[in-house]
Chains A and B, each alone.
Chain A
């Protein structure tokens, strides 16, 4: 690991044609942090997550994830990091259980160990009765739950979650939040992009606010209120709106 950082990005930039999706992003994350990646639509949050996972090549800059270069060592990163996409999609004609077995096998793991690890989450999310159904019959929320299980199946030390609670029912969202806090307490670093500022406020130890590809704020949620010159009672949403408008 480079300098003890779980994740270290320096001057990351990503250009799509004329559009600069990520602009000179530099950030360092340590173990056990829960980092919220916030920003309006099109701010570059998903692109950033994909670059960190080695799914996209940065136009400039570099990122080291768990000590591996995201451009040249994408395999190593994909084997170690857990990722849950914003819009999950699977093979329609595999069951949820088979999907988890397939994912485990591809990452070189053991299916029995995976199910042992995931059992509490499967029970908490009430997905057990549906694990032996074809994914083609899953609702959006069920797919989202399966995507979270896929991300956590190999007990990764870094989780990159894109809108993890979108489409989930409130009880499941609360359980996910608690589980993420437990994971962070055990040293897992969580990076999640979200539009749910209330959840970010309760869950995240640090927020990164992006706008038009640029990082406009990096610090604790309370510091965001200070930066926006708001009282400590003000919501993170107010701070967010003020910082983006500025």
Chain B
């Protein structure tokens, strides 16, 4: 993990300093990246299997989870088969490959090779269940089962994809490319639900799979899986031999859509509707979300202990639907301009106009898709006490969806569109998309209205800066030379990397939950991410290292004491609820030592260097004559980056340190003040 972080930092450096963006990840970092993903994917199967093994009748849960893991594998195979219009083609699925005399067996091996990244989820589930529920079974049996499971679902995905292309033509199939996201979302949901006690009966077609996974009725279960794999392999061979139907372009409408005038927004809406899948994606996504949310509200309202359960299930679905559709539409929209660059470059179109049209169109689409969230209010009719919380959650979430639409557009513009000299293959998984996805998700799952509002404001501020960065990279629509975003955006992207590293490490360390306590996992994740942030800050800082002025360090002592006093007063009088996931339980000296190193040692150095040493000067120069507001904005960003319950005390520390930096230009004093504040917080916490 550490090597990966350092490698990523090394590669990011030139790009964030305004130089050329690096080529796609390759070599050592590519291998490491895949290993980390493989570990994460293994963890999905492992954690689901762990929960299932604790159930009284695990075969029902195992069957659901088995289908869920299969959905993951199937989604990749399906995506490989169904062409996605105007997105960069996968190297192994290119037209060139189709022209070469490659045997069907080789194509089958290629298919399994390309979906191999999903094998760990099958292995994770099979190995965990077998080793826990059939302890005398050899490991090889679990591995064989995992391989059979993976192969059969990969073949199933490929066969469905091929069948669609043979029946509908490749062009029409490309309209359905978006549907390949469903098995993976459904898979994720089933893996979670399989581990819960909500699904007590096995699925009709998965009984044998469930029994095989838990090690019962072994030969019959193995034989049926092997037979299924063989049948699907034959299906693959048969379907591979036929030719795809071709239907290059659909017929155009008889009348021009612009006979009554045209503007950028109308153009955007028209192109979105006409492109493959454009006309039915939104109604389909909206109706699907409405159906699932409505069903859950109707079915679960009496079984759930409080409104948070209902909300969380609905919000997960909405988040997945909105973010997938949002990213896909935003990418497609900017890729379309990239294709039409020779036309657009010669026309007097300001990038701000085209961006506004894209953001406006996407906003309308995403709000339509997210609208079924309102259905959760129907439950409040029967349970009046749920109404206030559900109402503010729906309102603030829809507002977040509207802002997120703009953010997704600007990020797509910066990463795959005209805003970059070297478009990357997709915005999904980029630091930029992560940066905006975190506050978006924070709004939806906020513990209370204040934190939801704070997360919404953070999202809005990030969106504002993303727009500024997008417009700075380009003057006109063929101005491909400039590749420099704003300094503030670069700093924020680095912070997105920090958040990503923290979440990734926490997710990975959860696989070691048998050895590490949740507190140790949380602290270790923070420490790794802090090292990454320090490295990225040191490497990418635009205006050179900040002034330390170590002799002024003692100034931090009274400032830290003042801030700590405010924190004590605030906690004493207001008793904010930190929420279960954020509280540190320091039960051993080792944990206390780790907390000391991370919270009092690392955090002040790393965070001050980033916020006061980089973000504040970047904001000062960006704000020009209003530069004196930079310490306030930095303080707000600093507070927003911390948990919502400590927003006010952290804001006070941020403002005081902002003043210290502005008045005395001493990073050392800020670090000391932060360390004093954190030492006091740790004392209170322990």
User: Which residues from chain A sit less than 8 Å from chain B, CB to CB?
Assistant: 16, 50, 53-57, 74-76, 78-79, 81, 83, 85, 87-95, 97-99, 101-103, 105-107, 111, 132-134, 136-137, 147, 150-151
Which of A74, A79, A101 meets B475, CB within 8 Å? A74
Q: Are B256 and A97 in contact (CB under 8 A)?
A: yes
Q: Are A134 and B250 in contact (CB under 8 A)?
A: yes
Stretch at the interface among B337-345, B487-495, B662-670: B337-345
Q: How far is the CB of B451 from chain A (nearest CB, A)?
A: 43
User: Which residues from chain B sit less than 8 Å from chain A, CB to CB?
Assistant: 248-250, 252-254, 256-259, 261-263, 267, 270-271, 274-275, 336, 339-343, 345-350, 475-476, 478-479, 481
Q: A74-B476, A98-B257 are in contact. Are A83 and B339 (CB under 8 A)?
A: no
Q: Are B274 and A93 in contact (CB under 8 A)?
A: yes
**Alpha-carbon separation in the docked complex, A76 to B261 (Å):** 22
A-B contact count (CB 8 A): 103
Which of A50, A55, A83, A89 meets B340, CB within 8 Å? A89
Task: Select from chain B the residue with minimum beta-carbon distance to A133.
Answer: B252
Q: Are A87 and B343 in contact (CB under 8 A)?
A: no
Contacts of B257 in A (CB 8 A): 98
Q: Are B342 and A87 in contact (CB under 8 A)?
A: yes
Contacts of B261 in A (CB 8 A): 105
Q: Are A78 and B347 in contact (CB under 8 A)?
A: yes
**Alpha-carbon separation in the docked complex, A83 to B476 (Å):** 15
Q: Are B249 and A137 in contact (CB under 8 A)?
A: yes
**Alpha-carbon separation in the docked complex, A236 to B249 (Å):** 43
Contacts of B254 in A (CB 8 A): 132
**Alpha-carbon separation in the docked complex, A102 to B275 (Å):** 18
Which of A54, A89, A91, A137 meets B271, CB within 8 Å? A91
Task: Select from chain A the residue with minimum beta-carbon distance to B262.
Answer: A105
Task: Select from chain B the residue with minimum beta-carbon distance to A79.
Answer: B348
Q: Which 4 A-B pairs have the closest CB atoms?
A: A137-B249, A93-B274, A85-B342, A83-B346
Contacts of B252 in A (CB 8 A): 95, 132-134
Q: Are A53 and B256 in contact (CB under 8 A)?
A: no
Contacts of B253 in A (CB 8 A): 95
**Alpha-carbon separation in the docked complex, A201 to B475 (Å):** 38
Which of B258, B275, B348 meets A78, CB within 8 Å? B348
Q: Are A99 and B343 in contact (CB under 8 A)?
A: yes
Q: Are B347 and A85 in contact (CB under 8 A)?
A: no
Contacts of A136 in B (CB 8 A): 248-249
Contacts of A81 in B (CB 8 A): 346
- 7 CB contacts below 8 A, A to B, read A74-B476, A88-B342, A91-B343, A99-B343, A101-B258, A132-B252, A133-B252
Q: How far is the CB of B503 from chain A (nearest CB, A)?
A: 37
Q: Are B346 and A90 in contact (CB under 8 A)?
A: no
Contacts of A53 in B (CB 8 A): 345-346
Q: A75-B348, A106-B348, A106-B349 are in contact. Are A57 and B258 (CB under 8 A)?
A: no
Contacts of A95 in B (CB 8 A): 252-253, 256
**Alpha-carbon separation in the docked complex, A124 to B613 (Å):** 66
Task: Select from chain B the residue with minimum beta-carbon distance to A132.
Answer: B252
**Alpha-carbon separation in the docked complex, A93 to B339 (Å):** 12
**Alpha-carbon separation in the docked complex, A55 to B347 (Å):** 10
Which of B259, B343, B348, B349 meets A90, CB within 8 Å? B343
Q: Are A91 and B349 in contact (CB under 8 A)?
A: no
Q: How far is the CB of A234 from chain B (nearest CB, A)?
A: 36
Task: Select from chain B the residue with minimum beta-carbon distance to A111.
Answer: B258
**Alpha-carbon separation in the docked complex, A9 to B479 (Å):** 20
Contacts of B248 in A (CB 8 A): 136-137
Contacts of B263 in A (CB 8 A): 105
